[in-house]
Copies of this chain bind each other. A is one copy, B any other.
């Protein structure tokens, strides 16, 4: 009993954490409940009494179309309507053609039509443009076309047209209820999530550099015992943000003007920004793994002057870049224009080019350093490949 209690408390705690992490999840759950209850109440009203069984399409539509963000719900709703309309038209047409044959020929012709239409529509889902925006519409097209075909085995054309009409109307009702709920009850915008993701990525990069600046190059600090430090893991969330970002961009494009977002907001720009952030995170990963291996190979101080100078440069570069990133993330969050003179990055850039200039005074040293950097990065890759080898071997065992 004690153990059961522990499990229940643990589970409740987990649920609580999920809810606290993003309270909109609770709102979304209640919205789905609300939309479904609305539909079921509509079913109860006299307006729909005459239709009987087809009203379940409104219920199915609500369950399938209600998504977390406004953009996703809108795109799925439109896909559902479009797919149903197209399939209804094609299906009725196919039925009329097949009707000319009559009897057994009709059934065989309909089966052939079904095979061709389903195969073609399934194949079209592999076209990238279709997959990105109309995948669900194609699924609904196949579904509706099959239903129309299968029903037309038995019913005469007039029944069929009425069936199609009822189906489209109930689906429109379902979509309307979904849109009403997502738009007017606590709307969750994909555009805002995308924004928050972009700003959060910039913050993570900034925090990494702040950690570098204070823990690694700061006064009285050395690059020791860094392996477990939290800031060295921050770039990982940035590296893995691509899938989420892509889907948010797709949905955000469907969303109408709202809040801070004008019509034709440059959504594709977020894709570019995300790619740059991920590239930066890659460099940070290389830097972090270099610093961690560096720590293992200690050596005495030998050229303290140059060493301290470069360290100071590193401090300037990392802290100022971090400051610039923080400012950028604020710019993204508040959607204000860029700050008039972004002199933080220029300070970091200046430190970086000063460093390069200073080194290049000693040409021989510069050349050796350059090629040594390449060799170091390569030998880092060699070490990583050893890890890959172990992993592969444990796979083949």
A303 at the interface (CB under 8 A from B): yes
Task: State which size class the interface on A falls in.
Answer: 35 or more
Instruction: Specify the main secondary structure of chain A where it touches its partner.
Output: helix
Contact flags A364-386 to B (C-beta < 8 A → 1, else 0): 11111111111111111111111
Q: Of B37, B150, B356, B374, which one neighbours A114 at CB under 8 angstroms?
A: B37
The answer to whether A63 touches B396 (Cβ under 8 A) is no
CB of A348 within 8 A of CB of B311, answer no
Query: In the complex the two chains form, is A115's CB within 8 Å of B385's CB?
Result: no
Give residues 94-132 of A contacting B (CB, 8 Å).
107, 110-111, 114-120, 122-123, 126-127
Shortest A145–chain B CB gap in Å is 9
Interface centre among A122, A212, A349, A356 (most CB of B within 10 A): A122
Quick check: B119 and A32 within 8 Å, CB to CB? yes
Chain A 381-396 per-residue mask, 1 if CB under 8 angstroms from chain B, else 0: 1111111110111111
- Tell me whether A43 and B153 are in contact in the complex, defined as CB-CB below 8 angstroms, given that A336-B396, A356-B379, A378-B352 are known contacts: yes
> Given that A29-B119, A150-B55 are contacting pairs, would A371 and B314 also be in contact in the complex, using a CB cutoff of 8 Å?
yes
Give the one of A14, A297, A379 with max B CB within 10 A: A379
B375 touches A310 (CB 8 A): yes
**A interface residues (Cβ-Cβ under 8 A, vs B):** 14-15, 18-19, 25-26, 28-30, 32-34, 36-37, 39-41, 43-44, 53, 55-56, 59-60, 62-64, 107, 110-111, 114-120, 122-123, 126-127, 139, 142-143, 146-147, 149-151, 153, 202, 205, 209, 212, 239-240, 242-243, 266, 269-270, 272-273, 276-287, 289-291, 294, 297, 299-303, 306-307, 310-311, 313-314, 317-318, 321, 324-325, 328, 331-332, 335-338, 342, 345, 348-349, 351-353, 355-356, 359-360, 363-389, 391-397
The 8 tightest CB contacts between A and B, nearest first, are: A286-B286, A352-B379, A33-B119, A302-B364, A243-B243, A29-B123, A29-B122, A33-B115
